[in-house]
Amino acid sequence: MASTNPGAAPPSPPRRRLTREMVLVKALDVVDADGVDALTMRRLGQELGRDPMGLYRYAENRAALLDGVAELVLEELSIDSEDPDWKAQLRSLAHDLRRAALRHPNVVPLLVTRPLATPLGLRPLGTLRPLEQILSLLIRAGFRASDALHVYRAYYGFLYGHILNELQEYIVDPDENEALLRLGLHRLPPKEFPRLRSLAPALAEYDGAEELDQGISILLAGLETQLERQPVPAIG
């Protein structure tokens, strides 16, 4: 029987085997904490306690890593393309995307601008699934395929515009009670910006969820009118 050394340190437990999901989750943590520019293979290797060169088996380069982070955030969205209540689905998705953006504000540039540099068919599948699901939802609701694509573009254009606007609603002095001073609008020349200065109370009471819901209501009302005007396809 082998003797044991009571003074010897216990053996280290075996390191957990990495998976792509573990790597992407840690990459998202880095982006959430320090922004997109902070995400490098070296930094990720440090966070995971691994050799950065070994991470290339999970992402072939930094661009693929950024795509994976975007996919991870989009996986938080839920779309039921078979739900006959297409308006409820679009409204729910809008709020899901807003909440995801507020949880991961540093990822928003990846969602908004990164696809512009990549042809549609070459984008990661995870970033295309919301498009496929929304197209299916709208076509099932009765929209022509080409019209469904127009709806998707208008819908996401509104959503990303709202999210970017909400994320830049900075408060200059949160402890100031006077709305004009709280937002720093007192610095604007009164004669040049009378409307903006007068809206200080409304701007100070900005509610992102309510603003989003009002905008979605306007958009959905217009889409419903468009759908009602479409000719009913002949049967037989």
Q: Cα(60)–Cα(232) distance, rounded to whole angstroms?
A: 49
Predicted TM-score (pTM) of the model is 0.76
Q: How high is the pLDDT of residue 202?
A: 72
> Residue 97: how many CB atoms within 10 A of its CB?
23
10's tokens: 């216990």
Q: Which residue, chain included where needed, has tokens 């082998």?
A: 2
Q: Cα(81)–Cα(137) distance, rounded to whole angstroms?
A: 4
What does each of the 236 residues of the chain score in pLDDT, given as a tens digit?
A: 555 566 655 655 556 788 999 999 999 999 999 999 999 999 999 999 999 999 999 999 998 999 999 999 999 899 999 999 999 999 999 999 999 999 999 999 888 877 666 777 778 888 889 999 999 999 999 999 999 999 999 999 999 999 988 887 655 555 555 666 666 777 888 888 888 788 777 766 778 888 899 899 999 999 988 888 776 554 44
Q: How high is the pLDDT of residue 231?
A: 67
Q: How high is the pLDDT of residue 146?
A: 92
Domains and CATH numbers, the chain: 20-60 (1.10.10.60), 72-169+206-229 (1.10.357.10)
Residues in Cβ contact with 155 at an 8 Å cutoff, skipping those fewer than 6 apart: 90, 94, 134, 219
Q: How high is the pLDDT of residue 13?
A: 55
